[in-house]
Every structure is written in structure tokens, then in C-alpha cells.
Amino acid sequence: MISSVLSLRLQHLEANIRKILELLNQYEIELFDNNDPGVRSRYRRRIEELKQQKLNFESELTELQSQLTNEQFLQTQTITSQLQIIDNKIEIIDNKIDLLLDNQSQLNQVLLSYFDQQEQILLLPFTEKLDESQLLQISASLEAVDKDKFSKDDIDSVLLEIRNTLKYMNRQNPLLPESSKALWGIIDDPKIDAKHSLKVTIPIIPFILNYEAELALGTSSNLREIWESKFSKKNRNNEAYL
């Protein structure tokens, strides 16, 4: 018969393993309902933490098994099976995260290919925070600019709205990141072709909208309308650009 102390330790171990299995099931559901690359990276860190916990459980189980008779040892097979299930689930989630993040990275590279090296460096902090649907949406919009789907008047009106919004943001927060200020300079430089200024603008519109929403500045209603109606997937599919 297993001593009360050993029995209690085995019960605690099995309870902890069940909690890990519940967490893994929860992660698997939540992870793939979310397109945010930052969220996926956080789940990767959580999975690494669970891997370490699983190793700790294995060490504890080995220690407990060393104190059991052969007959008692068989009673720990359920725990061993559960640890194997944890291993399998972690491997599945790990592989899916790799696939999702790799796809995200490839989409980001496609988007950045529309720009020169210096612009890529400036835009990367913004584009790496975009989800898959935004990356696809922005890449399609950049392609539309290259194919002259936008009239000069339309480009000028969008840039005017963007420039007014950026000026207001700079007044509200002069400590914006240097990469932001460098991009503002490109967008606001009259010597730069308006078509190219629009291309540089498009990938940062989600950042501007999020920034203003967080600060409740209430100055981007026109810009949000442009983004949602003129650059939306629905309008892209209908080729109804601006």
C-alpha cells in the first residue's frame, strides 16, 4: 500500500498535470482566434513556461516512482500517460505557432518590398505589429497605388488629411519615437512624389488610428472613414479605390 505522504504527493502531481492540460486546451482555442502577432509571441513564451513545468513534473514523478514497489509503480501509469499527452499538445501548438508566425513574417516581407532599405527600417516597427488581414489589406492597397488606381486629386486629399492628423499628434506628444518623426518627414516633404508619400503613409494608418483611439483625441474620424471605406477588403475586391 502506498504511504499517505506518497499518495498525497501523487494526487497533487496529478491535479497539477490536469491544470496544465486544461491550460493547453484553452491556449489552443484562444491562440488561433487571434491574428495579433504580439499575442502569438506571448503564447510562445507561455508554452516555454509549460515545457519547464512539465520537466519538473517528470522529475517529481521519477522521484516518487523510485519509492514505490513494482505493484505500486503501475498506479502511476495514468500520470505518465498524461505527461505524454502534454508533450503531444505542446508539440502541436509549437508547430502551429511556427507556421503562423512564419506566414506573418512572409506577408510582412512582401509588404516591405514596396520600399527602399531605409524606408523598410523606418516602417518595420509599425508593420511587425500588423495582423495578417491588415498586412494583406495594405499590400493590396500598395499594389493599387503602383497600378495608378488613385487619381492625383484623391492622393492629395488623403495626404492632406494624414498631414493634418500627424501635425496634431506631434503637438499632443512631441516625444513620439524617432522612427515616427522620420516617416512624418517623408510624408510631409513637398519634394517627394505624392504617390510615394501615399505609399509610405498607408502602412502606418492603423498605428495612427490606434494611437488616437487610445488617447481619445477624436481627430481622426475622417481618416478612419477613409481607411474603412476606401482601403477596405470589400472595396479592394470591387476595385473601388478612392
CB contact set of 121 (below 8 Å; sequence gap of 6+): 179
C-alpha cell at 155: 492622393
Residue 235 has pLDDT above 60, yes or no: no
pLDDT of residue 111: 92
C-alpha cell at 205: 494608418
C-alpha cell at 234: 470589400
pLDDT of residue 242: 46
Domain boundaries, the chain: 4-110, 116-237
Q: What type of residue is 66?
A: S
For the stretch 107-145, what's the b/e string if a residue is b when 16 or more beta carbons lie within 10 angstroms of its beta carbon?
A: bbeebbebbeeebbebbbebbeebbeebbbbbbebbebb
Residue 2 has pLDDT above 70, yes or no: no
Alpha-carbon span 140 to 147, nearest angstrom: 11
Alpha-carbon span 223 to 229, nearest angstrom: 10
pLDDT tier, 239 (very low <50, low <70, confident <90, very high otherwise): very low
Classify residue 150 by its DSSP letter.
S
pTM of the model: 0.59
The mean per-residue pLDDT over the stretch 88-117 comes to 84
Residue 198 has pLDDT above 60, yes or no: yes
The mean per-residue pLDDT over the stretch 11-20 comes to 89
pLDDT of residue 152: 84
C-alpha cell at 31: 491562440
